[in-house]
Amino acid sequence: MQKKLLTVAVAGALAVPGIAMAQNAVEVYGTINMAIGQFKYSDGTAAQTADGAVAGASQSGVSKWDVSQGASNYGIRARESLGGGLAAWGQFEQNAPMERSNNGAITPASRNSAVGMQGGFGNVFLGQWTTPWADLDALWGIGTVGYWGPVTSIIGRRETTGTAPNPNCTNNGQGVAAAASTCDAIEGAGGVGHPFWRRFSQAIFYQSPVMAGVQVKFAYQTNEGKSSGQVSTNGDPSAMSLSVQWAGMGGRARVGAAMDRHKEYTSTGGTDTGYALKGGWNFGVLDVGFAYEVMKYKCLGNQPNGSATGFAAGCAAEGDIKAKQYALALAVPVGPGSIRASYSVAKDLEGPIGTTGVPTSHISDTGAKQYNIGYEHRFSKRTNVGIGYAKIDNKANAQFTWTGAPPVQNGFSNTPLFGSDVSTFFVSMTHRF
């Protein structure tokens, strides 16, 4: 089992699309993730103020049961040998909503979907795919049972509060009412700028061959949303993601570093940046993973683009809004399964956010902590069943939750009230085909 845990982590980190397929093949595949559990939301507040003080009427907590799904998907991939060590490949993958309440979310090619060429030079492909930044989570994220863990709540998820102030979007945060938004669903909703955990779309990707355990990955999201005179504030948004990762010492050690640059998503003329270091070590009787990341959102002075905090006041002065997150994870083999646990922290935000002209160097109570523990039983390579407990402690001005969590106190929104803690006791099942 020690070797199985290690193999999953390293193979996931260094995988190249289509590499495991036969020379000429078409494959239908998928993953179904489901869980039943009791969810609890503690008391929360309806609003918050820019100086960190809570405001608005308090709303009492709620407890409910839910059958939920996390990242279930299905797809088709194909590969053709072109001779001389060169191969062409293509893949369509989309969400597979397994709940009646969200069946309308099915969108063709909404997940990893691309066409590419692979050879001795590596792999080059065009389309929509997870970024090199997000791929690093395979190096360390071994501490989650089911899908209630830090990768779907804390790590890389700072932009889940507020709206996305792309200068070319109707929800740009700068008061610009574009007649026709140029933003797609990824750019135009769900976070400040382009969320670091999101896939790049309309993008080109490169993955180098693995040499001496080292692989380099690069992605560039084109500036198709560039505007010239269509809105009062023009923008030229684009993004790049770069990572270097290594696995060695018989596969026991793995580590990777990533850098992202998202141009003109938070502010016109500004670039958001992110840096991450993630990895792990397998001791045989214990597999340990770690993650550390820093994101910087650019403020150019007195622009209402402070969505990284959820504050409407936005930037009070020029500078960077800085977010830091870190996490630890572990997996302990027990018979045909493993005990898995994680602990992650989102620090309070720092930077020039507050009422106009009154910046604060430290935005109070915008952080959170997440911890989870459980046991996952491996029936086969395709089927796992788990049981566990997970909780997020939100500070007064934070509203973190997991992707796929059920509606909160109001019965329809999935975003917790500020300061509302979220917890779940669950039984999960995963089946792959």
Question: Which residue ranges form the domains of the chain, and what is each CATH number?
Answer: 2-432 (2.40.160.10)
Identify the pLDDT of residue 349. Answer: 78
**pLDDT band per the 50, 70, 90 thresholds, residue 219:** very high
- pTM equals 0.82
d(CA 251, CA 233): 50
pLDDT of 173 over the 70 cut: no
Residues 133, 155: Cα–Cα separation, whole Å? 11
Nearest alpha carbon to residue 7 among 299, 351, 247 = 247
**431: closest CA among 380, 369, 389, 394?**
380
> Which of 76, 223, 200 lies closest to 127 in space, CA to CA?
200
What mean pLDDT, rounded, does the chain reach?
79
Q: Where are the beta strands (DSSP E) in 12-134?
A: 25-41, 44-48, 54-59, 62-69, 73-83, 86-95, 113-119, 122-129
User: Which spans in 164-298 are helix H?
Assistant: 185-188
User: What are 262-314's pLDDT values in tens digits?
Assistant: 887 766 677 889 999 999 999 999 999 999 999 887 765 544 433 333 333 34
Q: Which residues is 355 bridged to in the sheet?
A: 358
What is the model's pLDDT at position 54?
Answer: 47
Confidence of residue 22 (pLDDT cuts 50, 70, 90): low
Q: Which two tokens stand for residue 297?
A: 């959102």
- Output the pLDDT for position 305: 39
| pLDDT score of 27 more than 90 | yes
User: Looking at residue 432, what is its pLDDT?
Assistant: 95
Q: How many whole angstroms separate alpha carbon 308 and alpha carbon 202?
A: 24
The predicted structure's pLDDT at residue 53: 46
For residue 254, the model assigns a pLDDT of 96
pLDDT at 14: 45
Residue with the bigger pLDDT between 263 and 47: it is 263
Residues 251/282, Cβ–Cβ less than 8 Å: yes
Give how far Cα 419 sits from Cα of 163, 401, 426, Å: 19, 11, 23
Give residue 216's pLDDT: 98
The CA radius of gyration of the chain, in Å to the nearest whole number, is: 22
